[in-house]
Amino acid sequence: MLYHHLKLHPYGPGSEKVPPGTQPVASYIYDELVFNEPTEAMFELLTAKPGAILPAVKSPDHQYSQQTENEELDRFSSGLEKVYNQVKKIKDQIKYLEKEKLALEQGNVVPANDNFR
């Protein structure tokens, strides 16, 4: 299963009420400025503060970290591998069914393949 940290909530009258036992939806704003090739002085200014670098591990104070990024990349890699395996399985099934169709058109008997049934 693939998922992303997108949280949806209801709109309309009464949507501001938080049901008991749940947490309100948090809204984050993310702005990014990209400097392709900053000057040495600009690079020093941008990297002087430690806040510009993600912490190594997640903690209650830091929701985003290098650890959470790596976990997200692992989930994406796992999902891609599952998709590639499913595509390969479907392609193999199509090849088998095309051979079966050709054999039936020629009047030959095709041995059953239980992998696709």
Residue 84 belongs to what domain range? 40-116
Give the pLDDT confidence score for residue 91 in this predicted structure: 96
pLDDT tens readout for residues 77-87: 999 999 999 99
Q: Which pTM was predicted? A: 0.47
In a domain, 64, yes or no: yes
For residues 71 and 78, the answer to whether their CB atoms sit within 8 Å is: no
In a domain, 108, yes or no: yes
Total domains present in the chain: 1
pLDDT tens readout for residues 1-18: 555 666 566 666 666 666
Q: What is the mean pLDDT of residues 31-53?
A: 80
Tokens for 115? 């992998």
99-109 burial, b at 16+ Cβ within 10 Å, e below that, comes to ebeeeeeeeee
Find all residues with CB under 8 Å of 59, minimum gap 6, and list them. 65
Q: Is the pLDDT of residue 36 over 80?
A: yes
In order, the DSSP letters of 56-69 are SS--SS-S--HHHH
Give the pLDDT confidence score for residue 73 in this predicted structure: 93
